[in-house]
């Protein structure tokens, strides 16, 4: 069943903020994966340095024994533990994008034709590169920082939760375009296009906030 569009939330990251010895919890099905208890701190700074500690030990867990999910604040250890786990590092605080009133999210994967003489009269394909774009329609607001992000080339995290419930989509993006429009009889509007900026650490994915 579809949800009312007005419940949708769309957020953008601010400045990376430090955190120290944040508590994490696991679940009964994946005993070596822990997630930050504080939901507001679950988007991690992919350029940050992180320290995982296990209760009762003085040395941090070896980085080689840890896999970090930067978009959902999770760490997976190489082996299960019953000890309490904490995480220190930095996270990306998120705020709703002011004036946003429409969106188009496209997740794309190239389809590459690899048909050869062994075909039986049908084309065959393999999957290629993935891409994600997000276009926002919004009312133009004072203090707009999207133009400065275009100038700096800085990447930001964008988060979308269609209908305001269920899974959220998160990823690092670069701002590709922003355009203003308006006339004497209507509010000024701004359209912003974001293109995913994937790396070896993060891409775009859906999950529980």
Domains in the chain: ranges and CATH: 17-91 (no CATH), 95-207 (2.40.30)
C-alpha 60/C-alpha 67 separation (Å) is 14
Q: Where are the alpha helices (DSSP H) in the chain?
A: 146-152
CA distance 117 to 120: 8
186 pLDDT band, cuts 50/70/90, is confident
pLDDT value at position 92? 98
Q: What pLDDT shows up at residue 28?
A: 62
Q: How far apart are CA 82 and CA 114, in angstroms?
A: 49
Q: Write the pLDDT tens digit of every residue in 35-66.
A: 999 999 999 999 999 999 998 777 889 888 99
Tens-digit pLDDT profile for residues 6-41: 889 999 999 999 999 999 999 766 789 999 999 999
| DSSP letter string, 135-191 | EEEEE--TT--HHHHHHH--EEEEEEEGGGSS-EEEEEEEEEEEEEE--TTS--EEE
pLDDT digit string, tens, across residues 149-177? 888 889 999 999 999 888 999 999 999 99
- The whole-number pLDDT of residue 37 equals 96
The 10 Å Cβ neighbour count of residue 159 is 20
Non-local CB neighbours of 190 within 8 Å, separated by 6+ positions:
99, 138, 139, 140, 141, 144, 146, 178, 179, 180, 181
Q: What is the pLDDT of residues 96-154, one digit of tens each?
A: 998 899 999 999 999 999 999 998 899 999 999 999 999 999 888 766 678 888 888 89
Model confidence at 183, pLDDT cuts 50, 70, 90, reads confident
Q: Do residues 209 and 162 make contact, with C-beta atoms less than 8 angstroms apart? A: no
DSSP SS3 for 39:
helix
Give, for 85, the enclosing helix (H) or strand (E).
strand 85-91
Q: Return the structure tokens found at 103.
A: 């969106």
Query: Residue 150's pLDDT is what?
Result: 87
| pLDDT on residue 25 | 94
Question: What pLDDT was estimated at residue 1?
Answer: 59
| Cα–Cα dist 53/71, whole Å | 20
Give the model's pLDDT for residue 104: 95
State pTM to two decimals.
0.88
């Amino acid at each position: 069943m579809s949800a009312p569009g007005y419940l949708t939330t769309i957020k953008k990251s601010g400045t990376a903020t430090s955190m120290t010895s944040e508590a994490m919890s696991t679940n009964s099905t994946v005993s070596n994966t822990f997630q930050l208890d504080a939901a507001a701190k679950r988007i991690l700074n992919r350029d940050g340095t992180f320290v995982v500690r296990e209760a009762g030990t003085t040395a941090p867990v070896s980085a080689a024994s840890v896999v970090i999910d930067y978009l959902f604040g999770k760490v997976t250890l190489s082996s299960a533990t019953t000890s309490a786990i904490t995480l220190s590092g930095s996270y990306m605080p998120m705020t709703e994008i002011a004036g946003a009133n429409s969106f188009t999210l496209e997740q794309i994967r190239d389809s590459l034709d690899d048909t050869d003489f062994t075909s039986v009269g049908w084309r065959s394909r393999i999957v290629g590169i993935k891409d994600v774009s997000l276009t926002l329609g919004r009312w133009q607001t004072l203090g707009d920082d999207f133009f400065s992000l275009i100038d700096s080339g800085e990447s930001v995290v964008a988060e979308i939760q269609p209908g305001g419930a269920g899974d959220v989509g998160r990823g690092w993006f670069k701002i590709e375009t922003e355009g203003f429009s308006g006339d004497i009889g209507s509010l000024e509007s701004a359209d912003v296009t974001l293109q995913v900026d994937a790396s070896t650490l993060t891409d775009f994915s859906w999950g529980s906030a």
